[in-house]
Amino acid sequence: MNVNPRRPLFNRKPQSNIYRMFLWVVMILGGVWMLQQMNKGEIKPLFQATPLPTRSVESYIQEGDANFSAGKVDAAITAYLEAVRVDPNNAEGWAKLARIQTYSSAFLITNNEKKDRLLEALESARKAVELAPEDSTAHAVLAFALDWNANTNLYSNEKVQAYLIEAEQEALQAQQLDNSNTLALAYYAEILVDQQKWNQAELIIKQALAREDADGLMDVHRVNAYVLETLAQYNLAITEYDKAITIEPNFTFLYLRAGANYRTLAAEIPNLEAARPVYETSLEYFAKAVKINEQIGVNDPQPHLSIARTYSQLGEFFIAARNVQTALEYQPTNSDIYGQLGVIYFRSRNYEGSIFSLKCATYGCSGEDSCKGRGLDKCYPDLGENPVDVPGLGISSNTIVYYYTYGSVLSALSRPRDNKCGEANKVMQDVRTELDTNAEDYSDSQSIIMDIVEAGEAICQSLAEGELLPDLSGPTAVGGEISDVSATPTP
């Protein structure tokens, strides 16, 4: 009997398919090729972070605005720099950068630092106008930067006047482009003050204050305060600084200006004890600036220097010196701060201590001398008091006080067994050369400085001739101070 074999329904034998095998081979080879390309960097893995920043210009600008309001000036500058790096054609970013760069110059100590920062601000402002020639705010900020560059401590009178003329033109151009631009009106008033057109400045700032948006603009109240303090209306100026502080409560520059006005009021009171409460109010403003800096992590020496100057006027030189030493902890290579410490030592009759500080300020110092210039007996690396190289300040109308005070101390402390007259005579000669070369800068003080120079030279001459020196309790010179209430709005 023939029986058909069972159909392999459930036990079908595997069979090879040449097409399927070819497909697998192609897929394997493709995978190997893709891995090789990934290793070479030709193909990027999915979901990998992009190597370039994806933040928008607006986000950087907003970050800069926030940092400015928080009082973090350097962080604000960094954010605005990032904004213009991402979009170099963004005029708003360049204008905001120029404004904060201009303000930031007030937190710098030396004239060289201020000059460099203000030139950076001027370059940024010009870039903003170049990109947006019809933008009123760009022209207003350029006027602001030009005005702060017009500083007689930085440039000759001819250069200053050129800056002021251009600043006035830019301010007027800003108002022509937008007659409702309150900021441009305020900056114009500030320029008029620096042109010594006080009545016109007062009129213009009143017009700015009458605008609807004036109450919310820190710059308007700051400029009004500047106009008032120039007119010696210090109480009213303080009120305006307080209004500006309300708008920007973390902007320490405003506290320094208000405190400086209180100190000016105190100095006008003939009785020291009667003036003391006013001095103490001044110190409160400076202390607020210190506290704000501590909260936001900013190591700014300016508030401590303002505190030092106030205590120095009160005759409390020990605490004044301690605040200058704190400022040096922030900037241990800043020659100007060494000079201020040396003057305080001089006024407190610590003549020996003043020598090291004044040497660092004038001709520079390094090694152990730099630590002695900070008021230490030697360097203490374990405590963070390390030797540093301090560059000397060139002699100028702003630094000559350090030179003639240094020369006066050296000559007065010279004795046959400790003769410092070689260095003293060199210093006095440098002072003479400066007075002869730039006589126009010393029209009001040349005779006083020359009296100090001649007194020091007379002492050294007596010592050279072997004469008996007079019994001196200290140098005959009177050391000066650098005022932080000047014609320019910088503390």
Q: Which one-letter DSSP state was computed for residue 211? A: S
Model pLDDT, residue 298: 87
Q: Which structure tokens are listed for 9?
A: 């329904």
Nearest partner of 333 among 363, 368, 365, judged by Cα: 365
Indicate the SS3 state at residue 385: strand
Count of beta carbons in the 10 Å neighbourhood of residue 28: 10
- 51 burial via Cβ count (<10 Å: 0-12, 13-18, 19+): exposed
* Beta-bridge mates of residue 385: 380
Of residues 450, 361, 438, the one with CA closest to residue 397 = 438
Summarised one tens digit per residue, pLDDT across range 77-120 is 999 999 999 999 999 999 999 999 999 999 888 888 999 999 99
State both tokens at 361: 């300020």
Contact 305, 327 (CB under 8 A): yes
| CA atoms of 98 and 128, how far apart (whole Å) | 9
Of residues 41 and 161, more confidently modeled? 161
Q: Which residues contact 133 (CB under 8 A, 6 or more apart)?
A: none
In this predicted structure, the answer to whether residue 66 has a pLDDT above a threshold of 70 is yes
pLDDT-derived band of residue 293, with 50, 70 and 90 as boundaries?
Answer: very high
Q: Report the amino acid identity of residue 72.
A: K
For residue 380, list its beta bridge partners: 385
Q: Is 138 helix (H, G, I), strand (E, B) or coil?
A: helix
Q: With a cut of 80, say whether residue 337 has pLDDT above it.
A: yes
For 388-421, how does the pLDDT look when each residue is reduced to its tens digit (9 = 90+)?
999 999 999 889 999 999 999 999 999 888 899 9
375-387 average pLDDT score: 90
Per-residue pLDDT at 491 = 26
d(CA 62, CA 460): 63
The Cα–Cα gap between 299 and 303 comes to: 10
CA angle 276, 277, 281 (to 5 degrees): 115
Q: Is 365 helix (H, G, I), strand (E, B) or coil?
A: strand
Is residue 243 over pLDDT 80? yes
Longest dimension (CA), the chain: 156
d(CA 452, CA 286): 33
DSSP state, 50? P
d(C-alpha 204, C-alpha 227), whole Å: 10
Q: Give the whole-angstrom CA distance, residue 236 versus residue 233.
A: 6
Average the pLDDT over 320-332 and give the result: 95
Q: Which backbone phi and psi does 365 adopt, to 5 degrees?
A: -160, 170
pLDDT confidence of residue 3: 54
| pLDDT level of residue 471 (50, 70, 90 thresholds) | very low
Instruction: State yes or no: pLDDT of 191 exceeds 50.
Output: yes
What local confidence, expressed as pLDDT, does residue 487 receive? Answer: 32
pLDDT of amino acid 20? 67
pLDDT band at 475, cuts 50/70/90?
low
Q: For the ranges 229-238, 239-248, 454-463, which has the lowest average pLDDT?
A: 454-463
Helix then strand count (H, E) for the chain reads: 21, 0
Average pLDDT over residues 325-352: 95
**For the ranges 47-61, 346-360, 470-484, which has the lowest average pLDDT?**
470-484
Report residue 53: phi and psi, to 5°.
Answer: -65, 140
pLDDT at residue 109, rounded to an integer: 83
162: its two tokens: 């050129």
367, 441, 435, 444: which is closest to 403 by C-alpha? 435
The strand pairing partners of 415, in sequence order, are 418
HEC string of 300-327 equals CCHHHHHHHHHHHHCCCHHHHHHHHHHH
Q: How many residues can be counted in the chain?
A: 491
**Number of other CB atoms surrounding residue 488 within 10 Å:** 17
Q: pLDDT > 70: what percent of the chain? A: 85
pLDDT of residue 488 exceeding 80, the answer is no
Residue 440: pLDDT band (50, 70, 90) is: confident
Distance of CA 139 to the CA centre of its chain: 24
The rounded distance, in Å, linking the Cα atoms of 384 and 398 is 31
- The SS3 assignment for 380 reads strand
pTM listed for this prediction: 0.81
- d(CA 76, CA 253) in angstroms, rounded, equals 15
The predicted pLDDT at position 28 comes to 74
Q: What is the pLDDT of residue 270?
A: 93
Rounded Cα distance, 205 and 225, in Å: 10
pLDDT at 353: 93
* Tokens coding 233: 């209306």
* pLDDT for the residue numbered 275: 95
Q: Do 228 and 241 meet the contact criterion of CB atoms below 8 Å apart?
A: no
Following DSSP, what letter does each residue of 401-434 receive, concatenated? HHHHHHHHHHHHT-BTTB--HHHHHHHHHHHHHH
Q: What is the mean pLDDT of the chain?
A: 88
Compare 274 and 483 and report the one with higher pLDDT. Answer: 274
pLDDT at residue 14 tops 60: no
Note the pLDDT of residue 7: 53
pLDDT band at 466 (very low <50, low <70, confident <90, very high): confident
Helices (H), 70-106: 73-86, 91-104
- Which whole-number Å values give the CA distances from 32 to 25, 26, 264, in the listed order? 11, 10, 81
Calculate ∠ Cα 345-347-350, nearest 5°. Answer: 40
Digit-coded pLDDT (tens) for 19-62: 666 666 667 777 766 777 666 656 555 555 555 556 788 888 99
